[in-house]
Amino acid sequence: MQVIVGREREVELVTASVETSPGSGVFEVDDRLRVEEVRIGSDGDLSTARFTVRLDNTFDTAAARARYAADLRVIANVRSDEQSGDRVLFDGHAPMSTAKWFGGPGRAEESFGFVANGVYGRLARDVDAQIYGRRMRSGLIEDGLATDPGAWADRSVLVTAETCVFNPDGAGNRSVTPLNITLPDGTTRRVHIFTHDEDANGQPWTYLQALRYLVWFHAPRCGPVLDGNVFASTDAFIESLPNAGGSSMLIRRLLQPCASLVCEATNLVEALTLLADDAGIHLTIESERDGAGVRSSLRVWAAGDQTRRSLNLARGGFHPDGTKRFDVSSLAATDVLRANEVQSADIVWDDAKIINAPIVVGGVKAYEMTVPLVPGWPPTANLDNVAAVDRDNAKSLALTPGLLAVLGKSAELLAWFRMYHADGPEYAANRYVGRRWVLNEDGRFDGATYNRNIPFDDYQPFDFGTVTGFDITRRGDWSRRSRRFLPAITKTALGAGFGVYVEFSFDSGATWARASGDVSVAVDPTGVVFEAANTTTIAPPGVDPLEQNLWYAIIDQTFRVRVTAVIEGDERLIAKSGPDARVTPTLLTTSRIDFAPNTYGFATRLGTTNALASVNPGGDDIERDDSTAIALRADVLRERNEDRRVSAKPVVPWFDTRFDVGDEVAAVRGRGLSLATRTDGATRGPCVVGKRYRFDGGRWETELDLV
């Protein structure tokens, strides 16, 4: 049987070959096998092939079970002509076979067959393709790089305590220095690896770098699938910055920074599918004959870079003047076939998925600022509101460390010890007196209960407008709600952080010192608590507690507390991208929220009152402003989704070799029918992401999957 292919060439029957032994890589044609269908998929849609086995008196089901073991590779191929040789349609294994018997009076039938999965599916189960942990440098390797870089340039270790997550919450965790690997042919290859998530020098991964990492470490060197064009097409861009652009759509998309790409506890096929879907690219397995065997390789591609073709389907009927639209009377058969290559088709124009006004919602905007605190306990006798003439007597009630040493056990009988020392029996009811200092941003500490001596004589909700510029908030604009203290973003020149920076003053704020001793940051209410067992041990730097301490300074009405920390505002970092009237096919504004609070952040120390402003003033890398990145994300979402989605499944009534996976199909020529839409700033048609060859029932046909 022969079937016309390409309208000008002929093709022989498709044949099946089986590996001579598991892992041999040598194949022999098996005339008992009949190929009924081959499905070629992309990304996570694995290729499959359906085979039936010719049984007879000398070869029954038991023999078939013994012959077609799951460990043997089976390929389906077809020869187009003597010059082009065999074209491999499928390469895989048969994990499941089925047998059927039919019996009854005058009827006895037996059949055997199997559906084979492509080698990509076998790769997914390979032990090396399982992803857990991440590749990093150990201390030994880092020391070796410092002394002998050449000998250690290609070394890494698998650290299973860390997870394989690229840029968790948008924070870069890629090592600055890639591995420098020397290949057997003497050429070199660079592959990036991870660092730990807290590394201040961690760099953001691009999809390109993540793709190379996954394939290098998890595609077995002698496995069923080779790396194909993954490295060759990306070598020149290994060090390119995110969003640097490129000469092709593939490179432009791969150079996007990935965010929270979680590949932990997956296999290579699953991880590559996640990456491809996130980046907007495709991965396909391509197979070709290699001597007596077959070679299957990865192919990475993106829509927009591929060959543009049109389907051909002549339109019947007559023109208004009565002439035929397509007159076959003077055409050769090959011309008729060339003009009518579509037997049937399902085409869908889907406007429901249009998103021409996406909204990307990032994290809450946060600001580093210095805020004053107020006492977080009700006014207490002999501590607050003490008249100047009575202050010495009030101070004499407190037990300083020296006085406690003199009194010994008898101190436990005194009221001050019982109430205000951490070892006193009544301490639990009085633990916040003198110790808790609050921001009162939500106004829960009311004046009727907490007003006391100046300057704490008018309790009001804290107004952030007093410590921020008008571009952040004006007086009273922020809602009165609880806002916790977050670690300051300011770092020293050596990269050390300050955490929540607490300071105290014993002279009404004339001088400040970092709070010493045990100070805890309170969440509800927001504030700080001095946790020393005896508050009289908290003193100014270099001053004897007998002369001045926290308790005495409160009595003197000169003790102050302030905190420098990051505090969230009332707004998130948000980006919107509006409809492009030149492109979108709808007059409606259609929107969708892309909620990514952990991916896009904003934290600044500009425009606020800040006690740390003079620390590392040139440290621009301290702040985080993802405004540009989030706006780019919104534009990308709009450009990818602002036009209707077109998908189609045209059927060509013969074995087709003209359309390859990845080809773009922009129109149905002869019908004047456009399939093109606007995507990524360019007009293009859907791409062939899969093919289905059917050979059963005495009929050959090829179904294209266009998306």
* pLDDT tens sequence across 133-150: 999 999 999 999 999 999
Three-state DSSP class for residue 3: strand
Q: Which residues of 538-552 are buried (b: 16+ CB within 10 A; e: fewer)?
A: bbbeeeebeebbbbb
Q: How far is CA 418 from the centre of its chain?
A: 56
Contact 259, 271 (CB under 8 A): no
**Pairing relationship of beta strands 33-40 and 688-694 according to DSSP bridges:** antiparallel
Per residue in 301-319, pLDDT tens? 999 898 999 888 876 666 6
* Exposed / middle / buried, residue 650 (Cβ in 10 Å: 0-12, 13-18, 19+): buried
Q: What is the mean pLDDT of the chain?
A: 91
How much is the pLDDT for 8? Answer: 36
**How many Å apart are CA 115 and CA 39, to the nearest integer?**
11
Please report, rounded to a whole number, the percentage of residues in the chain having pLDDT higher than 90.
77
Specify the residue for token string 């077995």. 220
How much is the pLDDT for 441? Answer: 97
Query: What is the mean predicted confidence (pLDDT) over 574-587?
Result: 88
How much is the pLDDT for 6? Answer: 43
Query: What is the mean predicted confidence (pLDDT) over 515-543?
Result: 94
**How many Å apart are CA 292 and CA 28, to the nearest integer?**
8
DSSP secondary structure code for residue 7 in this structure? T
Specify the residue for token string 């259609």. 590
At 5, is the pLDDT very low, low, confident or very high (cuts 50, 70, 90)? very low
**How many Å apart are CA 588 and CA 576, to the nearest integer?**
16
* Through-space distance between the first and last CA atoms of the chain, rounded to whole angstroms: 33
pLDDT surpassing 60 at residue 172: yes
Please report, rounded to a whole number, the percentage of residues in the chain having pLDDT higher than 70.
93
DSSP letters, 75-140, are: EEEEE--TTT-EEEEEEEEEEEEEEEEEEETTEEEEEEEEEEEEHHHHHHHSGGGEE-SEEE--HH
**How many Å apart are CA 412 and CA 433, to the nearest integer?**
18
Q: How far is CA 198 from the centre of its chain?
A: 17
* Exposed / middle / buried, residue 381 (Cβ in 10 Å: 0-12, 13-18, 19+): exposed
**Pairing relationship of beta strands 27-29 and 33-40 according to DSSP bridges:** unpaired
CATH fit for domain 1-118+302-323+342-350+646-663+691-707, picks 1.10.1760, 2.60.40, 1.10.10, 2.30.300: 2.30.300
Specify the residue for token string 């510029």. 469
**Per-residue 3-state assignment (H helix, E strand, C coil) for 425-482:** CCHHHHCCCCCEEECCCCCCCCHHHHCCCCCCCCCCCCCHHHCECCCCCCCCCCCCCC
pTM of the model: 0.81
| Residue 147 parent element (H or E) | helix 139-147
The boundaries of every CATH 2.30.300 domain in the chain are 1-118+302-323+342-350+646-663+691-707
Of 661 and 170, more confident:
661
pLDDT surpassing 50 at residue 1: no
At 189, is the pLDDT very low, low, confident or very high (cuts 50, 70, 90)? very high
How much is the pLDDT for 335? Answer: 61
Query: What is the mean predicted confidence (pLDDT) over 43-53?
Result: 96
Cis peptide before 242 (omega within 30 of 0): no
Which residues, at least 6 apart from 236, have a Cβ–Cβ distance to it below 8 Å? none
Q: How far is CA 82 from CA 10, 79, 85, 86, in A?
A: 10, 8, 5, 9
DSSP secondary structure code for residue 388 in this structure? G
At 4, is the pLDDT very low, low, confident or very high (cuts 50, 70, 90)? very low
Q: How far is CA 229 from the centre of its chain?
A: 23
How much is the pLDDT for 555? Answer: 98
Per residue in 387-443, pLDDT tens? 999 999 999 999 999 999 999 999 999 999 999 999 999 999 999 999 999 999 999
Q: Which of 76-85, 109-118, 331-340, 498-507 has the lowest mean pLDDT?
A: 331-340
